[in-house]
Amino acid sequence: IKDLGLELEIIFNKGAVMVLPSGVNKATGLAAALEDLGLSAHNVVGIGDAENDHAFLRAVGFGVAVANALPKVRETAGHVTNGARGAGVRELIEGLISHDAALLDTARQRIEIGADDGSGAVMHLSPRGGGVLLAGTSG
CATH number (domain holding residue 81): 3.40.50.1000
Encode pLDDT of 22-73 as tens digits.
Answer: 999 999 999 999 999 999 998 899 999 999 999 999 999 889 999 999 999 9
Q: What is the largest CA-CA distance in the chain?
A: 67
Q: What are phi and psi of 132, to 5 degrees?
A: -130, 135
Single out the residue of 16, 6, 98 nearest to residue 49, CA to CA: 16
**Containing domain of residue 96, as a range?**
40-125
Pairing type for strands 45-48 and 62-65 reads parallel
pLDDT at 125 over 90: no
Domain annotation covers residue 135: no
When divided into structural domains, the chain yields a total of 1
Domain annotation covers residue 35: no
Domain annotation covers residue 107: yes
Which amino acid type is present at position 52? Answer: N
pLDDT at 104 over 70: no
CB count within 10 Å of CB 126 equals 14
Q: Considering the entire predicted model, what is its pTM?
A: 0.74
Domain annotation covers residue 78: yes
> In this prediction, what percent of the chain has a pLDDT beyond 90?
60
